A and B are shown apart, each in its own frame.
Chain A
Amino acid sequence: MSYHLPVILFLLPFATAICMPMVGSRRRRWCRPMALTAVFAMCVAAVVNLWIVVEHGETRYAFGGWPISTSLPDAPLGIEWVNDGLASVMLVALSFLAWLCLFYGGPLTLQSLGAREVLYYTLILLLISGLTGIVLAGDIFNVFVFLEVAALSAYALVGIPGGRALIVAFRYLILGTLGASFYLLGVVFLYASTGTLNMADLAQQMADKPELMTSKAVIGGTTFMFIGFGIKMALFPLHGWLPGAYTRAPDSISPLLAALMTKVALYGWVRIMFWVLGARAEIGQVHVLTLLGGLGALAAVVGALLALSQEDVKRMFAYGGISHVGLILIGVSQGNSTGFAGSMFYLINDAVMQAGLFFIAGAAIHQHGTRTVEDLSRLRQSPWLIGALIVLALSMIGIPPTGGFFGKWHIILGAIEAGNYLAVAAVVVATVRALKMHGGVEISDLGAENVDAVRRGCVNLERHLRNIQKYYLMWVEK
């Protein structure tokens, strides 16, 4: 039974999604309880699964009993699912966030949907099962299929409100499909040069035959895969689809998308990077991790800058998410366990924060009609809402008792360990920007301080933290 747990985790939302139209067409009121029950069962199963993995170590699921990577050097013929420490933790985060988003979404959507409510819940459950599949898959083609299952449901969900949402959904679809096609192209290249799709087998072959890592097919294939994942995770130059999609998506859907879509794509890239290519991979003479770190630093700083200039609350949070993807990449690319652990912690932490921020944005729009940053002061009427926003913002900045601190702290420690002070500077700049983005302070008086931050790097962190608190209090009092 416990061996089958990963598949049960996937089947819970998937089977419910398939049953939903059958039940829902006759009894529409059952849809929401059904979806909530299925995802709640998924949460329980994910926790049990995590406990089993912690107690007994990782398991590998072989579909149909075909040989998988455990039978190497025999060819792994079957599809493999890997249920290791990282995957099981991700699954717990994923299922709990999905349940919260479902629970939150109810009262916001029902009135406008009518009979389409059935399809709405079907799509959400399909999205969740697609994401579960990406987390568990140990086979690069399997990842492609689940990426598309999740993405197709996401396109449809973004387009629900009609009007402008349809345009951004269409753009999201065009760019998302482009990303998936690039990923598939990468899979074809890797398959053509190694003859296998299994991640563990690929890694084994890369280790056995060093000439593979310098072959143009593997380098090209990996680059295409990275571009594909880059579009899906909204890495800075490829982020075009994200702000519009998250802003225009229904208020009940944007938390789910913001928390999970980009993070799971990032997780997919981390799998390929560390479980297939290995941390020492090089393109030409350049270390892949160095490239990643550079891209991450760029995304972290530019995303934060763009977030500053936004008027719309949801759009501002969306750009914040782009910046955080960069932060996570910085930590991953330090090539030591401190940075990696910090990044993975920050990844889950950021999923929770993004969900929380979009929950608040939705509630603010629903209750107070607040759409712009200036209007946020109207939230004063509901102390719980503004209190939650402050706690979340503190976490985004990284004030010690909150989760954001530990993630950022370890990313910075990892960067210092690797002697990479540019990365430290980027994290700090992104942090300083984040604090201003929430402080609602005038943009004009920010420039000088940032130059400072870059120069002095980590030493300044503490002072900035104090500044943050100061700005915070100012804002609250205002």
Chain B
Amino acid sequence: MIGPELADIKLLWPELVLVATALGLILSASRIRKGLRASTVTLVAGCASILVYRWPLAEGPRAGFENMIVVDGYSQFFKVLVSSALILIVLLSARRVETDNVRAGEYYALLLLASVGMMFAVSSTDLIPLYLGLELTTICSYILVGTTVEKRISNEAATKYFLLSAFTSALLLYGIALIYGMAGSTSFEAVASFLSDTEGENSKLILVAIGLIVAGLAFKIAAVPFHSWAPDAYEGASAPIAAFLATASKAAGLAVLGRICISAFAEEAHLLSLILATMATLSIIVGSVIALSQTNMKRLLAYSSISHAGYALLGLLPGTPEGVSATMTYVFVYVFMTLGAFGVVTALGRRGERIDGYEGLARQQPVTALLMLIFLLSLTGIPPTGGFIAKFGVILSALNAGYFALAVLAVACSVISAFVYLRVAVIMYMKAPQVEETSSYPLMVSTALLVSALVTVIGGILPGVLNFWEAVPQ
């Protein structure tokens, strides 16, 4: 008879769709000549994985694979978010794959597998599958960062990313090993009950273990002091891949941190919130201040993503479901506005990489400039856009946790970052064009830009319409 372990595979419908497509692409990689065909297949798979996200939830939240995987509203929220990011990135990659001479089959298969890793990680209620999922994602990402083989800067970025990421994966594993050594299990439930029974014993070892695990996860979301890889990796990678690292990968990292805070390490909430508050403070300050001096657009967006990681962490400080919910909203809006900004960089091609390239954009391509303005306003956190609602929620939850100084700091740094983002807007609208007009970009890229802009604006005007299905873990 087929055992219950195998029947649990029904819980993983979205992942199965993506894995099957990735295997198909890998098997036919040498016969794929046209990038468009592979990207269409990937798009269909992405949409299918969104359509089936509810199937495993039919009978409410369920756990499977000996309680290692759980399917609940929280996991499915992030799975849909990862799938949406995947779809938009496939749309953005349309031209890059052709011009950069990248093998399409492998490129899309790796994107699919990286997304599967993230989905697996956000569903995990055990440290081992969590680690496996994150590793699948990062191993695919190393290759994706280095896909533009001819460019030296891309090779350098992939090497740096690989070395630093491998090192922090070791930290994460060491933390998991220490937890296993003390609790005798890696499941969140067992770890939580171990922590509530200890009553002050082993407190130093617990501090080290939690610190190591949080450090490993902080690397994935590029929070200071584990951020140094991000600007280099984003600059070297092609713009769609940089967007993938900045959005989907960061969303998955935050989802995992959120679940760990609220389930496994709930007993150590005070300690955890101290660590997270330190990282959030540093990320917000460093990200906003260093972004001031950037001349490369991808590096600017990298530092912006670092400060946004800090803001998203604010929601996790109180260790309550409301706080996690604020972080979920933040991540949702952040994914779309950042994808949009990277989308404009992609659409403008070589011109979009430097900030000078935006001079006079409003006169040459008014629609692109307007879309970029929407994303920049949202990244700053100015009211009619989703960025404001998101920032408001997380700062409120920092106040609820009693971090008044940190909330004031977050608002102050918003002002600094306003200068960073609005400088680009000024360059677009108030300078005379320096560069010749570039050719128009494919329909797929403009679709992605429009969808991101739509979500960013609707998220600001009618918050709660788009992320109605968000649910925090129990």
Do they bind each other?
no
